Copies of this chain bind each other. A is one copy, B any other.
């Protein structure tokens, strides 16, 4: 994935996505003591950055592949993103969802005309169901984060952020499956001026932190976090990029996540999901621990999404 690949990718998906707003908050800048630029992918179509990678991956399929459609398994944002991206391009989308997925997520997929296949809520059952659909329909399986075209698509959010703020010193991303931070790291590498990329991750699912330490992809023993988008683990396509280009991963507590979420909701009046609050919390923690590093720095934060269940808030 060279610089031109990312430029081509951005041009390719532009008609299908929003170039989302970049917001700042005087109050939050004063509180943290640095200048922060929030790239608001919560305002993205389907409420999260994931339509970027989904769109790029579909547009890279051959005509024959497109006609047979795409398959994924997801209980969250990628299910809706792939359904909408497929609808925009005119391609069928088959979505395997665990039977435990919230009704609101299923409704989202249906609104975007994705075909839902329910399965048992285990990773194995999800993969088996996806395999059957691939076999029956000859549709192409698209992984939400461990796919080069998805990674590049996800990286376009950081590209747009750097277009407006070319002098950013750092960019913070959440780390779940690793697609967003890998894409952002490529974007910072090619389009930033000495811009480092840092990840935010909950202590309770700190597989990426441990993977960087051990040098191999680690799993999680529990998935007990409010940040429901960050429970997944890294993949062989994105891990090498993260190893090469991500400076460090900052871990945060559940209480820090909720505090950061409340701070952004109350002060910026925008709705961010817990996975995005992880990133804000990581910035606050790291800036508190290393004030000399952050002095006079400009920091970008990828607000990954705003899909929350209003009936089940942590406040």
Residues of A participating in the B interface, judged by any CB pair closer than 8 Å: 21, 23, 26, 40, 42-43, 45, 47, 262, 265-266, 268-272, 306, 310-311, 313, 315
B310 A266 Cβ-Cβ under 8 A: yes
**Chain B residues positioned under 8 Å from A21 (CB to CB):** 21
**Chain B residues positioned under 8 Å from A271 (CB to CB):** 265, 269-271
Q: Which residue of chain B is the closest to A21 with respect to CB atoms?
A: B21
Give the interface centre of A21, A26, A268, A269 by most chain B CB atoms within 10 Å.
A269
Q: Which residue of chain B is the closest to A303 with respect to CB atoms?
A: B269
24 pairs, A vs B, C-beta closer than 8 Å: A21-B21, A23-B43, A26-B45, A40-B269, A42-B269, A43-B268, A43-B269, A47-B269, A262-B310, A265-B271, A265-B310, A266-B310, A269-B270, A269-B271, A269-B272, A269-B306, A270-B270, A270-B271, A271-B271, A310-B313, A310-B315, A311-B315, A313-B313, A313-B315
**Chain B residues positioned under 8 Å from A315 (CB to CB):** 310-311, 313
**Chain B residues positioned under 8 Å from A40 (CB to CB):** 269
Give the interface centre of A21, A262, A306, A311 by most chain B CB atoms within 10 Å.
A306
- Give 7 new A-B contacts, CB below 8 A, not counting A42-B269, A313-B313, A313-B315: A40-B269, A47-B269, A262-B310, A265-B310, A269-B271, A269-B272, A271-B271
**Chain B residues positioned under 8 Å from A42 (CB to CB):** 269
Q: How far is the CA of A23 from the CA of B20 in the complex (A)?
A: 11
**Chain B residues positioned under 8 Å from A265 (CB to CB):** 271, 310
**Chain B residues positioned under 8 Å from A270 (CB to CB):** 269-271
**Chain B residues positioned under 8 Å from A311 (CB to CB):** 315
Within the complex, the shortest CB–CB distance from A38 to chain B, in Å, comes to 12
**Chain B residues positioned under 8 Å from A313 (CB to CB):** 310, 313, 315
Q: How far is the CA of A302 from the CA of B222 in the complex (A)?
A: 46
Q: How far is the CA of A40 from the CA of B47 in the complex (A)?
A: 19
**Chain B residues positioned under 8 Å from A262 (CB to CB):** 310
Q: How far is the CA of A288 from the CA of B315 in the complex (A)?
A: 34
Within the complex, the shortest CB–CB distance from A14 to chain B, in Å, comes to 16
Q: How far is the CA of A120 from the CA of B155 in the complex (A)?
A: 57
Which 4 A-B pairs give the minimum distances between C-beta atoms?
A269-B306, A310-B315, A269-B271, A42-B269
**Chain B residues positioned under 8 Å from A45 (CB to CB):** 26
Within the complex, the shortest CB–CB distance from A306 to chain B, in Å, comes to 4
Q: Which residue of chain B is the closest to A45 with respect to CB atoms?
A: B26
Within the complex, the shortest CB–CB distance from A256 to chain B, in Å, comes to 17
Q: How far is the CA of A311 from the CA of B21 in the complex (A)?
A: 28
Q: How far is the CA of A40 from the CA of B272 in the complex (A)?
A: 17
Q: How far is the CA of A306 from the CA of B264 in the complex (A)?
A: 12
Within the complex, the shortest CB–CB distance from A66 to chain B, in Å, comes to 24
Q: How far is the CA of A271 from the CA of B271 in the complex (A)?
A: 6
Within the complex, the shortest CB–CB distance from A267 to chain B, in Å, comes to 8
Q: How far is the CA of A10 from the CA of B266 in the complex (A)?
A: 27
Q: How far is the CA of A21 from the CA of B268 in the complex (A)?
A: 12
